[in-house]
Every structure is written in C-alpha cells, then in structure tokens.
Amino acid sequence: MPNRIKSVVSGPGLLFASLGLVALFAPFLTLAANRIVAGEGVRVWDVAGPEAIIPGMVGVVIGLALGLPSAWQSVRFTGSLVGIAALVWLLMQGSTSLLEGAGTYARVSLGSGFWCLLAILLLLAADALSSLSPGPKMRSALLAVAIIVSALVLWSGALTDLSIFREYANRQDAFFNAAWRHLGLAFGSLVVAAAIGFPLGVYCHRNQGLRGAVLPVLSFLQTIPSLAMFGIMIPLLAWVGSTIPGARELGVVGIGFLPAFLALVIYSLLPVVANTVAGLEATPILTLDAARGMGMTRHQRLKQIQLPLGLPVMLAGLRIVLVQNIGLAVIAGLIGGGGFGTFVFQGLNQTATDLILLGALPTVILALISAITMDILVELARPNQMRHG
C-alpha cells in the first residue's frame, strides 16, 4: 500500500503542498506607516474581508492539491497556474483593503508568505514542465503567453496599491532610462564580446600555442572580483580621458557607462572563447576525415561542418555571458553606470526595501527570460536527432 501511494502521489508535489500550507500561516503582506519604517505583517486571512479572501485561499489550496498526482503532469502544471492566479487575486484585494483608512503615506508591501508561496508554485510549474519535456516551440509559446499575461496584469493597474508600484510611479522616467541602460550594458557587452571572442576562439582552436597563452589570461581576468574590476577601470579610463586628446569628448571618463561596459566585455571573453574552442573540437574526427577526402578546404570545413555542429556549445557560452552580465550590470550603479542597480543602491541607502525590489525584480525577470530564450535557441541549433535524445 505505501508503494502504491508513492506511485500515485508525486514526491515533489507532496513536499510543495506541505510547504505551501505552512507558508499560508506566514505574513502575506506588510502594512507600514510610510516607505521607510518596518511594516507589521498581516496574514492572508486578515488582509481583506471573507468574500475576497476565501476565493483566493481556495484557489491556492486547489493549486497545491492539483500538484499531487504523479501521473498527470499537465494537471500539475495547471495547478501551479491556478495557484499563481489566486496569489494575484489576493494581492489585488489585500493591497486595496489594507490601505483604506491607513493614512496618506501608508504602504503595503509583499510579505514572506507571498514570496514563499510564489516560489513553491513556480517550483511546482518547473517540476511539471521538466516531466512533460515540451519542445522548443512549445516552450517559446509558453514563455510568450507568460510575458503577455504578466504585462496585461501590470498595465491593468490592478496592483498599483502595492508599495513597489508606488515607487515605480514616482520614478517612471528614471525607471525606463535605467532599463535602457541595463539592456545596453548586458546586451551591448555580449555583442562586443561575441565579435571579439568568436574569431579569437577560431584562431585558438587552430593554434595550440595561442590557446595556451590566451585562455589562462582570460581565466585570470575572470577571477578578479567585479568591484575590483570596476575599480581598476576608473583610474585607467580617467588617465586615458585626461591624456589622449579628444578622448574625453568621446565619453572616455573614469566613471559612468564606459568603465562598466568594458569590465563586462572583459568578463564575457572567457566563456565565449572557451565555448567556441570546445564547440569546434566537438566535431567527430571521422566527419572531418570524410570532408578532407571530399576535397573540402579548411575554410569550407569550418563553415559547413564545424560551425554548424559546434553552434549549440557556442550558444551555451553566450547564454552564460548574457545571464552573468545581466546580474553584474547591477553593480554598475555604484560607479554611475546606470541600470537597475541605481535603484538597488538608492534603496539600500534609504533603507527602502521596495525601492531595492524595484531594481532587483526586473533584473531577476530579465535574467530568467534571457536564460529560457537562450536554452530554446541552444536546442533549436542542435541536429534534429539530438533534440530529444
């Protein structure tokens, strides 16, 4: 009988359901007199009236319960969506209700209970999807739907009473400027690193001596802590800007966008070069011998055989770079480089948690979307017979 139960009930699903029920007793929202002071935790059944809370709590419980069957992965995934929708409903109802009569400067923030439930439901969704093993096209569709639905919820104004959205409303222009700057740092450094790293990786593949000289140097640069790297760039570029005529007019200064950008490019080179070498070396020897026997030149073998076969490994290197740079770009806020890190460090200085989240959450979401997108591209780049192997 115990073995039969184990075969019917998913182990991870049972764990998620147990943790979710415990998380319901943690503070779901916090109510504070203003944006600076610590708030008082409010449990989910106290954030609004029964007519608003009961449907949301029932939705969360149903979502967790649907995650229990081990054989019905689509039902488990649907349960995670039901639970997340219930969380959004509870946020909408609770944030509005708690602010009634609370004062002009009162703020409602997300509590530990909400974060725990959200993490549990997302893990449930990820566990179900890993068992379903959707192809790249289906994952692309799911990602697009998730982005569209999330955007519609945010643009509907249903969550504007939450403190983080009030922080956004007060800094809307600055937020979009920071977003463009963050994208420029992360994706711009990726493009430059790819333009340098791919050709360098090809030469390193062909020349063992060059590989032995380049890869250790790039590996050493990768070990330098990010703050130290930014610190090195400041006096170096300040010297260049003050010494070389016209450099300052071109924007070469010790602080700002450029030092952060160059530091990210340096950090990006090792994954790009190393994965390019690994991808080119992944071509089977017999395949290369057959190509030589057909009279193909070295350039033809590179273009028609080695690059197509090595592309998944090379794209995996770009995935590492992109996710890494999205996170490291936050630190650029310390040296005036802009990006979402500006809000993170402003929030730390002001002890304003929701201002920190205004910079941290978009960074996490951007990194997650980028990682999923790059994973899809890596799989699409594989030969057809390897995609489900």
| Domains detected in the chain | 2-155 (no CATH), 172-386 (1.10.3720.10)
Q: Is the pLDDT of residue 388 over 60?
A: no
Q: Quick one: pLDDT at residue 363?
A: 95
Residue whose C-alpha is closest to residue 311's, from 335, 340, 285, 278: 278
Q: Which residue has the higher pLDDT, 384 or 200?
A: 200
Q: pTM (2 decimals)? A: 0.88
Residue 357: band (very low, low, confident or very high) from pLDDT cuts 50, 70, 90: very high
* pLDDT digit string, tens, across residues 81-136: 999 999 999 999 988 888 887 777 888 899 999 999 999 999 999 999 988 888 88
Token pair of 178, please?
């920071």
In the chain, which ranges are continuous DSSP H helix?
A: 2-8, 11-23, 50-66, 73-99, 112-132, 136-155, 163-170, 172-206, 208-223, 226-243, 257-281, 285-293, 298-301, 307-328, 341-350, 353-381
pLDDT for 56: 92
Average of per-residue pLDDT values in the chain: 87
Query: What is the pLDDT at residue 286?
Result: 83
Q: Over the stretch 274-298, which tens digit does the pLDDT of each residue have?
A: 999 998 888 888 888 788 888 888 8
Residue 232 has a CB neighbour count (10 Å cut-off) of 15
Which is nearest to 202 in space by CA: 317, 322, 299, 285?
299
Q: What is the CA radius of gyration of the chain?
A: 25
Interval 131-160 mean pLDDT: 90
- Segment of 155-159, 228-232, 293-297 carrying the highest mean pLDDT: 155-159
> Is residue 3 scored above 60 in pLDDT?
no
Higher pLDDT: 382 or 327? It is 327
Cα 184 from chain centroid (whole Å): 16
State the Cα angle at 159 between 40 and 168, rounded to 5°: 85
Helix axes 307-328, 257-281, angle to 10 degrees: 150
Residues 369, 11: Cα–Cα separation, whole Å: 28
Percent of the residues in the chain that have a pLDDT greater than 70, as a whole number? 95
